[in-house]
Structure 1
Amino acid sequence: MKMRLLAGVASLAAAYLASAAPALAQDAEVKPITVSGSVGIVSDYRFRGVSQSDKNLAVQGGITIAHESGFYIGTWGSNLAGWGTFGGANMELDLIAGYKAQLGQGATLDVGATWYMYPSGFNNTDFIEPYAKLSGTTGPLSLTAGVAYAPKQEALGAWYATGADAAAGVYTNPGDKNDNLYLWGDGAIGVPNTGLTVKAHIGYSNGNKGLGPFATSVAPTGEYWDWLIGADYVIPNTPLTVGVAYIDTDISKRESAYLQPSFSRGQDGTGTIAGSTVVASLTAAF
């Protein structure tokens, strides 16, 4: 899943607690449709360990509409950095749809798909990625295992032989299509009576080796691991959560140099956008 401000591709639908007063019984029923979401700011937008904002601030937000049957739709967006070179509003906008099923006490299966798009950009930079997640909760501990598979699409092809070709916009293999597999596991445990949650993530990407048209990619080096460890704190009596996370990948500096010219602001090719970093966030949920 994306290393986002939002926890997960789709937000959990809010539940309404039943009231003990008979006169309020009708209002206490679980509503057939619920709306949830969040908006916030992060010090760096990391997608599977790789910076999408050139290690700069990003404003992000999303909303989910869920039906009591388990079906949901949602959207999520963020500003970008170097990605704006392929045209459009310099923004990522994800459209999400899926279904959640309760498998038992504390266990949930979530299947759906995310359509990644870049408003006013080029059509062959958009792509779809179906996913499935299995989550379980016991006491303060929650665990999630997920798989996302993006079938062969032009946006995931290797259109450039080198990073310099990508920065110059010179296609060496135009029309190439590729697929990508992403596996991940998440864990979180709440510290009782503190508002503090400790979290961890590990992910594995395999398939999409290279940069697609206008430098689109979900796994630009073809195969790598990403991981995260951090903590979130809910500020009492507010909808606000502050977070901090250490994020890293095993992408080498040499591999990162291939990405840098197209991912970085100004196409300057300096530094690394896939190395270790600490990301801070402030989120308001509703």
Structure 2
Amino acid sequence: MRKSIIGLSAPVLIGVLAAISAPAMAQDAPTSDLTVTGNAAVVTDYRFRGISQTDRRFALQGGITVSHSSGLYVSTWGSSIDDYVASGSDQELDLIAGYTKTIGAATVDVGVLYYYYPGSGGANTDFVEPYASVKGTFGPATAKLTVNYAPKAKALSVGNGKEDNLYVGGDLSASIPNTPLGVSAHLGHSFGPSYLTIGKEYTDWNIGATYTWSHLTFGVSYVDTDKSSFSPSGRNIAKAGIVGSVTASF
């Protein structure tokens, strides 16, 4: 039952009002439906589906995501690249829009990713890639299946007109209970032929581990493919390698 404050003296009344006003204001403050997250990273090699985009050298990367409580989100992510990737461009910019929803034990994510390569001199290097994934969590472990399909585009051509590309990948990850450590594994297959494949098709895989400290995550992974591909410098950019990373999240 609410007590009446009528008849209280001025000092007591002021004290009561002061005591109840702060919690009331805090409770009445609206909760935002938007969440903004971001990250910045340094990696020893930028591997896209197992193939180096930086001639097996360092890359600077970063991204930001705005998510709505409805499940809708937009995101942008960028990385430095070598000029053989996209006709002289020295950076990749990914523009993403999607929707995610949890249904029972599964989380479904669908969206569209646009690969933009500024500074490519007007060449056909940009392309669109719709994607869909489903993941489930089992204790400390998470399993995820992803399908990416890039419709026919001149940017994907290997000399036969417009080409398309299909990529199917599976991921397993787990955090080690009561520790800042995590482990992961990935297996993917690219179906072509297209600019994204080595010949007609190829398989890539990696295994890795992470250590998280405050807002920083330190990672190391072993990356490999079942084919070879050489950059203009003569390096095999599909060769097995160890990739290290330091990522700051905010």
- Which one has more relative contact order, counting CA pairs under 8 Å at least 6 apart? 1
Q: CA deviation at 1:31?
A: 2.6
| Percent of pairs with identical residues | 47
Q: 1:233 aligns with which of 205, 211, 224?
A: 211
| Corresponding residue number in structure 2 for 1:190 | 175
Alpha-carbon spacing, 1:84–1:225, altered in 2? closer, same or farther (3 Å): closer
Letter in 2 for 1:283: T
Is 2:232 the partner of 1:247? no
Query: What SS is found at the alignment partner of 1:73?
Result: strand
Distance in 1 of aligned mates of 2:175 and 2:124: 42
Q: Deviations over 1:145-198 (max 9, x none)?
A: 010011110011112xxxxxxxxxxxxx5xx11111100001111101111011
Change in 2 beyond 3 A, CA 1:137/1:26 = farther
> Given residue 199 of structure 2, which amino acid in structure 1 is its aligned partner?
T
Point out the structure with max Rg over C-alpha: 2
Amino acid at match of 2:200: G
Instruction: Assess, with a 3 A threshold, how the Cα gap between structure 1 residues 183 and 30 changes in structure 2: closer, same or farther.
Output: farther
Contact 1:65-1:74 at 8 Å conserved across structures: yes
Distance in 2, Cα, partners of 1:68 & 1:140: 24
8 Å CA contact 1:84–1:91 kept in 2: the answer is no
Conserved in 2, the CA contact under 8 Å of 1:44 and 1:279? Answer: yes
* Alpha-carbon distance, 1:240 to partner: 0.1
TM-score of the pair, normalised by structure 2: 0.85
| CA drift at 1:221 | 2.2
The 5 Å alignment of 1:148-227 reads 148-159=148-159, 176-209=161-194, 217-227=195-205
**What is the 5 A alignment of 1:51-200?**
51-83=52-84, 86-88=87-89, 90-105=90-105, 107-121=106-120, 122=122, 124-159=124-159, 176-200=161-185
Other structure's SS at 1:82 match: coil
Residue 279 of structure 1 corresponds to which residue in structure 2? Answer: 243
Q: For 2:163 and 2:86, how far apart are their aligned partners in 1?
A: 22
> Which blocks of at least 5 consecutive residues in structure 1 are unaligned?
1-20, 160-172, 210-216
Q: Which structure: greater helix fraction?
A: 1
Equivalent residue, structure 1, for 2:4: none
Residue 13 of structure 2 aligns with which residue?
none
Q: Looking at secondary structure, tell me which structure has more strand per residue.
A: 2
Instruction: Verify the 8 A CA contact 1:230 1:243 in the aligned structure 2.
Output: yes
Q: For the aligned residues, what is the CA RMSD?
A: 1.8
Aligned pairs, number: 227
- TM-score normalized by structure 1? 0.75
Contact conserved, 1:54 with 1:82, CA < 8 A, in 2?
no
CA distance in 2, matches of 1:199, 1:81: 27
